[in-house]
């Protein structure tokens, strides 16, 4: 099975670059396809060869002293990636939903809050927008950056966005609001963007997706927007999802 791994080495003694040099030399000698980037390295190839190369790189580097290595097998992650499940992508077509979220808005930038592995960030980037994806999980952001190199990804929380006021034209929650503390998350989104868009599951029992008690009904969405932002959103209930749009008044 072919896999891709992202990894980095951190010598515990600052400035001990010999460990890193030995690890990179081991990669060169392994014959495995690899790229050396400023923050980490990437390997790709057959599973056994990649594991062997990682092991050899670590062992060579460890000859110089104690160190830490992290590694993420992105292909293995992507294969089980719930955000990119084919049935989910069919139900929530990213580019179609992105176009609906942007309809009537002269937009150049979008913030994808709770980006996961960058499915909707990828859609906004493909539409030509300057796109930033935000998520609290660094492992997901590693995959997102490898999948969507033309977007930028930032680790952070929706309830306290690390951006100045009016940084974006659109702030988008893609099936994420029900995981968050919704009132501060909506207020933060409205602080940094002109329009706030919320994509959610329909409020009904289904075999897939979150249980009913974790879903937001149309009435609940309206109450949340009213309480957080002072006015209800425009709501588009589709067969497979709900899209709520709110925009700052001039």
List the chain pLDDT tens, one digit each, 250 residues.
567 787 787 766 555 678 888 888 888 898 888 888 777 788 887 888 888 888 888 888 888 776 677 776 665 444 457 788 888 999 999 999 999 999 999 999 999 999 999 999 999 999 999 999 999 988 788 889 888 999 999 999 999 999 999 999 999 999 999 999 999 999 999 999 999 999 999 999 998 888 999 999 999 999 999 999 999 999 988 889 999 999 988 7
Final residue belonging to a domain, choices 33, 64, 79:
79
pLDDT of residue 48: 83
CATH code, domain with 137: 3.40.50.150
Are 42 and 103 members of one domain?
Answer: no
Domain count, the chain: 2
Same domain membership, residue 228 and residue 212 = yes
Is the separation of the CB atoms in 202 and 240 below 8 Å?
yes
Whether residue 166 sits in one domain with residue 63: no
- Do 91 and 200 reside in the same domain of the chain? yes
Do residues 130 and 178 both lie within one domain?
yes
In CATH, what number is assigned to the domain containing residue 67?
3.30.70.930
Does one domain contain both 130 and 213?
yes
Residues 37-73: tens digit of each pLDDT: 777 788 887 888 888 888 888 888 888 776 677 776 6
Range of the domain at 160: 82-247
Q: Which of the listed residues 79, 99, 130 is the one where a domain comes to its end?
A: 79
C-alpha distance from residue 140 to each of 81, 98, 133, 156, 249 (Å): 9, 20, 11, 12, 35
Residue 140 in tokens: 């997901």
Give the domain-ending residue among 58, 79, 100: 79
- Whether residues 181 and 72 share a domain: the answer is no
pLDDT, tens digit (0-9, with 9 covering 90-100), for 7-37: 787 766 555 678 888 888 888 898 888 888 7
219 with 98, same domain: the answer is: yes
- 102 and 45 housed in the same domain: no
d(CA 161, CA 208): 30
- Regarding whether 202 and 123 lie in a shared domain, the answer is yes
Does 95 share its domain with 25? no
Q: Contact at 8 Å (CB) between 170 and 214?
A: no
Residues 104 and 74 in one domain: no
């Amino acid at each position: 099975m072919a896999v891709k791994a992202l990894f980095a080495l951190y010598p515990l003694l600052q400035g001990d670059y010999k460990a890193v040099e030995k690890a990179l030399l081991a990669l060169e000698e392994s014959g495995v396809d690899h790229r050396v980037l400023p923050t980490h390295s990437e390997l790709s190839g057959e599973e056994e060869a990649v594991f062997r190369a990682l092991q050899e790189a670590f062992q060579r580097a460890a000859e110089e002293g104690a160190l830490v290595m992290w590694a993420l097998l992105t292909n293995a992650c992507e294969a089980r990636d719930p955000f990119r499940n084919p049935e989910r992508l069919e139900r929530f077509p990213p580019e179609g939903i992105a176009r609906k979220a942007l309809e009537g808005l002269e937009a150049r930038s979008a913030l994808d809050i709770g980006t996961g592995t960058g499915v909707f960030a990828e859609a906004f980037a493909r539409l030509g927008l300057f796109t930033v994806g935000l998520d609290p999980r660094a492992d997901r952001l590693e995959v997102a950056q490898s999948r969507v190199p033309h977007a930028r990804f930032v680790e952070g929380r929706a309830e306290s966005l690390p951006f100045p006021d009016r940084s974006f034209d659109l702030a988008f929650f893609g099936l994420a609001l029900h995981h968050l503390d919704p009132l501060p998350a909506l207020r933060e989104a409205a602080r940094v963007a002109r329009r706030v868009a919320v994509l959610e599951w329909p409020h009904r029992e289904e075999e897939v997706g979150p249980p009913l008690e974790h879903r937001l009904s149309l009435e609940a969405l309206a109450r949340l927007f009213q309480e957080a932002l002072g006015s209800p959103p425009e709501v588009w209930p589709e067969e497979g999802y709900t899209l709520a749009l709110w925009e700052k008044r001039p």
